[in-house]
Amino acid sequence: MPASLNVVILAAGLGKRMRSALPKVLHPLAGRPVVSYVIDAARSLSPRAIAVVVGNGADAVREAIGAPDITFVVQDPPRGTGDAARVALEVLPAEGATLVIIGDIPLVNPASLGELVMQALDGKLAVLTAKVPDPTGLGRVIRDAAGRVRAIVEERDANEMQRAMNEINTGVMAAPTALLKRWVAALTPENAQGEYYITDVVATAVKDGVAVVAEVAADERDVRGINDRAQLLAVERILQERRANDLMRQGVALADPARIDIRGPLRCGRDVRIDVGCVLEGEVSLGDDVTIGPYCTLRNVTIGQGTLIEPYSYLVDATIGANCRVGPYARLRPGATLEDDVHVGNFVEVKASTLGRGAKANHLAYIGDTTVGSGVNYGAGSITANYDGASKHRTVIEDGASIGSNCVLVAPVTIGKGATIGAGSVISQNAPEGALTVARPRQVTVEGWQRPSKKT
């Protein structure tokens, strides 16, 4: 795109129908704010400037999407889309073309935007329209007998014949900047809502003899707007369906493409299998032959070749090597690193710890702030007591050690290479390598003791 392009994104709406304290454009869609998708589409055109018009929740919007290439403009009070465009145009260069996009159409196709911009650079007013099965609540595109666009009429102001039309305004238009500035400055709030409609510039352009062209969206789903939570969910499902289809085209085996949520960049190797109900958030990388069992959550996780994640496992900010087995019902917390051939079984939690090659913790265990060597066997019910009430401390379990069931390793402590810790031990001092260490009271049978009975 030429360097003379401005983009205005309208994100000042109250979003009353969302019934939320969160600004509409910040509601999450596949793990990201709705408006962030519109910004990405705008950036793909390499514009000279991007102005985001904010109003309701302006500080929250700035914090969520602020970047050096974005200028924020406050519309106060909110007086409609035409007024929002006017305040943005006041801070943008007057030459070239300006593209105006509403901030709640996250699936908008950048190629369609590019077509509008090229028309605007040619001196025309270009609008993006769509033909929809149900136009209720949307502005209608009015054409003459020759098919030329003559106006856009909001539904509240439309007559019965106009409401029967199914070509709708999408909230996207492009025009020469100088003309657009003049047109929005002349807008009046003479309509059912008493607002300044940017769509009224279409009729003004026709009156001025400026050509108005319409780019009809090839897929009306690309320009679905979001005004309430039902519409947000509908767009979410469209986006998830597209992502699932992309994965399957890449060779990923999905048990059910309708039951997967992808909320960030996902990279998959060959022969990856993902079962139903999985949620993949942040940046996730799955190596060749990785299998993800049903109902797992992975957030910012890297998994090596041939690893199996069993059902209902919850993995966050973790790195897992090749040929590991994790779960079912395992939890890997931030800083967990499993080297190759590690087994972490049911109801095992790992946090800020590294498990060396071939280590096993197969049942009911907690490993926190620990360095576990290769070949270690970590018994059921054992934990590392890493917190003294004020500070965290590390535990070191060297290669080949064996930790018996129901042990407590009180950090800071080191278990030597090849050491064995007897079941039920509380270890608060270093255990020497190659030896059996037991730290528990001698078993005693109390003669004559009777179990208390309930009073009747």
Same domain, 219 and 235: no
| Residue 255 located in a structural domain | yes
27, 343, 363, 393: which one is catalytic? 363
* % of the chain at pLDDT higher than 70: 99
pLDDT of res. 78? 87
pLDDT of res. 51? 97
For residues 298 and 57, what is the distance between their CA atoms, to the nearest angstrom? 31
For residues 243 and 262, what is the distance between their CA atoms, to the nearest angstrom? 7
Domain limit, last residue, from 223, 241, 259? 223
Same domain, 214 and 268: no
pLDDT tens across 376-414, in order? Answer: 999 999 999 999 889 999 999 999 999 999 999 999 999
Same domain, 95 and 52: yes
pLDDT of res. 190? 86
Same domain, 302 and 396: yes
pLDDT of res. 3? 67
Inform me whether the pLDDT recorded for 274 exceeds 70: yes
Average pLDDT over residues 255-274: 98
pLDDT of res. 401? 98
pLDDT tens across 67-102, in order? Answer: 999 999 999 988 999 999 999 999 999 999 999 999
Same domain, 201 and 263: no
Domain count, the chain: 2
Average pLDDT over residues 300-327: 98
Is 343 among the residues known to form the active site? no
The rounded Cα 138 to chain-centroid distance in angstroms is 28
pTM (two decimals):
0.90
Reported as a pLDDT band with limits 50, 70 and 90, residue 1 is low
Average pLDDT over residues 184-212: 93
User: Mean pLDDT score of the chain, rounded to an integer?
Assistant: 95
| Residue 456 located in a structural domain | no
Reported as a pLDDT band with limits 50, 70 and 90, residue 2 is low
Q: Please give the sequence-ordered ranges of beta strands (E in DSSP) within 12-113, or none if there are none.
A: 28-29, 32-33, 49-54, 70-74, 97-102
b (16+ CB within 10 A) / e for 119-137 = bbbeebbbbbbbebeebee
Same domain, 161 and 209: yes
Inform me whether the pLDDT recorded for 243 exceeds 70: yes
pLDDT of res. 143? 95
- CA proximity to 115, closest of 104, 101, 131, 126: 126
| Residue 443 located in a structural domain | no
Average pLDDT over residues 443-454: 82
pLDDT of res. 27? 96
pLDDT of res. 191? 85
Q: Which DSSP letter does residue 431 get?
A: B
Inform me whether the pLDDT recorded for 7 exceeds 80: yes
Comparing 155-159, 215-219, 421-425, which segment has the lowest mean pLDDT? 155-159
Domain that holds residue 130: 5-223
Residues 6+ apart with CB under 8 A from 169: 127, 129, 138, 139, 140, 141, 152, 199
